[in-house]
Amino acid sequence: MRIAALDDEPSQLDLIRHTMESLGHECHGFVDGRSLLRALRQESFDLLVLDWALPDMEGPSVVKVIREEMLSRLPVLFVTNRREEADMVEGLGAGADDFMVKPIRVGELAARTQALLRRAYPSQHETEVVFGPYHFYPHSRALKVHGEPLELKHREYELALFLFQNMGRLLSRDHLREAVWGQGPDATSRSLDTHISRLRTKLDLRPRNGFLLSAIYGLGYRLEAIDSEALGTRPDNLAMAA
């Protein structure tokens, strides 16, 4: 997963980054609210971990911009020295999803992070992920479409599953490259565009089939179910596409 961490104390930011990377996540650090908000307008992340007291604005104000102006449902975890009940009420009231008090306890941070990610992205923890006629089996790396096996190359499968698991989200190009290629030498824009084109053809992700895989100029890609019946009737799938 792709994590954004906001803290103006280098030692705290390093600790958060180390914890996230030990869990297998990519972590991008920011030291002030405005730089984070600029990044959020161009990039996509799966979770935000942020402090309260920042050089340019307070943490709750950052969260309010994310929720009210950007209309983002990005999961948010406060990690702060503020410890009064009123602080927790204010932070959660601003739109945060969880709240923990410094000093940072690595085990607690890891547990709260994983719990938030499980709640926000339940399909990424299932043994079978179903989206209408597309049945993914992550553990065996298999895919069936309308009950028939469909072979995809390694990167194609990773990219297809990631797009479906993030149905409706605008995913930045860097987010997609990091999720599928990591930081490897083949993580190029051209490679991403080629794989997107192949998936569109192989999975027939076109409006006539109820799905649209579109490029958003200068930002990234978004897979959408444009026909509610395309996802079938499973409640979890419908909730994810909402």
Output the pTM of the full model.
Answer: 0.73
CB 116 within 8 A of CB 76: no
Whole-angstrom distance, CA of residue 2 vs CA of residue 164: 16
pLDDT at 188: 65
Q: Which domain holds residue 71?
A: 2-120
Q: Which of 65, 90, 120 is the last residue of a domain?
A: 120
Q: Give yes or no: residues 115 and 153 share one domain.
A: no
Q: Which residues partner with 149 through β-bridges?
A: 144
Q: Give yes or no: residues 97 and 59 share one domain.
A: yes
Q: Which of 120, 145, 176 is the last residue of a domain?
A: 120
CATH of the domain at 229: 1.10.10.10
Q: Give yes or no: residues 84 and 163 share one domain.
A: no
Q: Give yes or no: residues 111 and 133 share one domain.
A: no
**Which of residues 178 and 187 earns the better pLDDT score?**
178
Please name which of 41, 5, 40, 8 lies closest in space to residue 26, comparing C-alpha atoms. Answer: 5
Q: Give yes or no: residues 92 and 140 share one domain.
A: no
**How many domains does the structure of the chain reveal?**
2
pLDDT at 74 over 80: yes
Q: Give yes or no: residues 56 and 136 share one domain.
A: no
Q: Give yes or no: residues 128 and 92 share one domain.
A: no
Half-sphere exposure of 36 (CA within 13 A, CB side): 33
At 241, the pLDDT band (50, 70, 90 cuts) reads very low
Q: Give yes or no: residues 223 and 143 share one domain.
A: yes
Q: Which residues 6+ apart lie within 8 Å of 48 measured at CB?
A: 3, 4, 5, 6, 36, 66, 74, 75, 76, 77
CATH of the domain at 14: 3.40.50.2300
Helix (H) or strand (E) holding 131: strand 129-131
CB 164 within 8 A of CB 134: yes
Q: Give yes or no: residues 136 and 152 share one domain.
A: yes
Q: Give yes or no: residues 46 and 141 share one domain.
A: no
Q: Give yes or no: residues 92 and 187 share one domain.
A: no
> 3-class SS at 49?
strand
- Of the chain, the percentage scoring pLDDT greater than 90 comes to 70
At 236, the pLDDT band (50, 70, 90 cuts) reads very low
pLDDT digits (tens, 9 = 90+) for 80-94: 999 899 999 999 999
At 230, the pLDDT band (50, 70, 90 cuts) reads low
- Of the chain, the percentage scoring pLDDT greater than 70 comes to 89
Ordered strands of the 47-50 beta sheet? 26-30, 2-6, 47-50, 76-80, 98-101
Whole-angstrom distance, CA of residue 9 vs CA of residue 114: 23
Q: Give yes or no: residues 46 and 115 share one domain.
A: yes
Please name which of 167, 163, 225 lies closest in space to residue 198, comparing C-alpha atoms. Answer: 163
Q: Which of 120, 155, 178 is the last residue of a domain?
A: 120
Please name which of 162, 136, 161, 138 lies closest in space to residue 149, comparing C-alpha atoms. Answer: 136
